[in-house]
């Protein structure tokens, strides 16, 4: 197959999309709805490059055997989500050396301590830890290198990564200003709905793989039955009405968001469907939001059954081949950008 028909990122009128996921823990419904589902929509329209960012994962300690397993599993999750390697490039960050080379160069020639000190995710992840790696602090610079190597136009991510993409824009502009034009300035693409899926146990905190309790998240690898139970046990708000109100009903707003994205029904349609159901269920054994939660649990269960059939359908060997092919296709693009950067610095 020729490169163009495989949607190879390269000189073309199509815009380039770049994004990635860390193989650092359980992938959950938040990752899927905030990022992966958006990637799937984009792959037919843009030149898409999706990376498994293993160098980001080692910013915190990982068990080596588990990490190498998870790298393959993340690719299977991409594939089960609907990313098609005939349309989009899938590769592993550590297979393309230019990422770490550019990260070091940006560390020296563009990033400032003051920029990184502002990053809220580092403050959260580094808080209350006795020893924090330099890599964790520097992590957004590696992310900037990932994005900038491919002349990226759009970076589809969840809301928690927006600050990092803004930093990428700052670093690119600063380098261009100080050394001459090399980098394209990328834009962030955040979904209107689903950019911040909240924890099922606490709607004030995002759904997160590092949450202390598994009741916080629906893992994409949870058994469908266990996931349905988690929905049924999810925290709700006071009152009875099924209504999207982010401020007054954050828990119901979160469940409505998940429901709407999985079913394709709008908030309005869902509100209509459950109008008047609250009071009838008040005091009933299923609880006041009973029918709504039962239906959503069924929606999640169905989604996971289908997802996991696809997930189990890929072999490790297939995945290894996809990764090798992907790296071979993007390496020349990354190298070309790196060469331009090194020329500007006088180190080529």
Residues in contact with ligand TYM by the rule CB under 6 A: 18-22, 30-31, 34-35, 53, 56, 143, 146-147, 155, 157-158, 160-161, 164, 195-197, 206-207
Instruction: Decide if 74 contacts 52 (C-beta within 8 A).
Output: yes
Nearer to ligand TYM, 31 or 81 (CB): 31
Contacts 24+ apart (CB under 8 A), 176-184: 178/109, 178/110, 179/109, 179/341, 179/344, 179/345, 180/344, 182/337, 182/340, 182/341, 182/344, 183/148, 183/151, 183/337, 184/148, 184/151, 184/152, 184/153
Q: Which of 6, 15, 184, 209 is catalytic?
A: 209
Residue 206 designated active-site: yes
Structure tokens at 152: 């990226």
Nearest distance in Å: CB 191, ligand TYM: 8
Q: How far apart (Å, rounded) are the C-alpha atoms in residues 137 and 347?
A: 26
Taken in order 253, 255, 258, 263, the sign of the CA dihedral is negative
Residue 273 designated active-site: no
Q: Closest residue (Cβ) to ligand TYM? A: 34
Q: Which of 15, 125, 229, 232 is catalytic?
A: 125
Residue 230 designated active-site: no
Nearest distance in Å: CB 122, ligand TYM: 11
Nearer to ligand TYM, 165 or 341 (CB): 165
Nearer to ligand TYM, 146 or 241 (CB): 146
Nearest distance in Å: CB 203, ligand TYM: 11
Nearest distance in Å: CB 104, ligand TYM: 16
Instruction: Decide if 179 contacts 109 (C-beta within 8 A).
Output: yes
Q: What residues does 91 pair with on adjacent strands?
A: 51
Nearer to ligand TYM, 31 or 236 (CB): 31
Positions marked catalytic: 125, 206, 209
């Amino acid at each position: 197959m020729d490169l163009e028909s495989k949607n190879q990122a390269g000189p073309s009128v199509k815009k380039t999309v770049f994004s990635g996921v860390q193989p650092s823990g359980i992938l959950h419904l938040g990752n899927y709805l905030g990022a992966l589902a958006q990637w799937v929509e984009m792959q037919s329209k843009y030149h898409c490059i999706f990376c498994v960012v293993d160098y980001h994962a080692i910013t915190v300690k990982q068990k080596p055997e588990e990490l190498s397993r998870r790298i393959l599993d993340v690719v299977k999750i991409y594939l089960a989500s609907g990313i098609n390697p005939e349309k989009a490039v899938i590769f592993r960050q550590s297979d393309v050396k230019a990422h770490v080379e550019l990260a070091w160069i940006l560390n020296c020639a563009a990033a400032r301590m003051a920029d990184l000190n502002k990053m809220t995710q580092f403050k959260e992840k580094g808080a209350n830890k006795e020893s924090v790696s330099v890599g964790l602090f520097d992590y957004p610079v590696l992310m900037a290198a990932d994005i900038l190597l491919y002349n990226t136009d759009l970076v589809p991510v969840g809301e928690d990564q927006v600050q990092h993409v803004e930093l990428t824009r700052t670093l690119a502009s600063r380098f261009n200003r100080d050394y001459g034009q090399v980098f394209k300035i990328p834009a962030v693409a955040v979904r209107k709905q689903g950019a911040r899926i909240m924890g099922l146990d606490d709607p004030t905190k995002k759904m997160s793989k590092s949450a202390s309790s598994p009741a916080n998240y629906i893992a994409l690898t949870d058994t469908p039955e266990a996931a349905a139970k988690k929905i049924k046990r999810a925290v709700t708000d006071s009152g009875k009405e099924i209504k999207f109100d982010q401020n007054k009903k954050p828990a119901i707003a979160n469940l409505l968001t998940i429901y709407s994205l999985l079913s394709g029904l709008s908030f309005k349609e869902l509100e209509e469907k459950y109008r008047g159901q609250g009071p009838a269920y008040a005091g009933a054994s299923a609880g006041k939001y009973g029918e709504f939660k039962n239906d959503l649990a069924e929606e999640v269960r169905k989604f996971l059954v289908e997802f996991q059939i696809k997930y189990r359908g890929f072999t490790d060997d297939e995945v290894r081949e996809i990764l090798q092919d992907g790296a071979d296709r993007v390496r020349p693009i990354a190298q070309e950008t790196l060469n331009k950067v090194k020329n500007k610095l006088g180190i080529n």
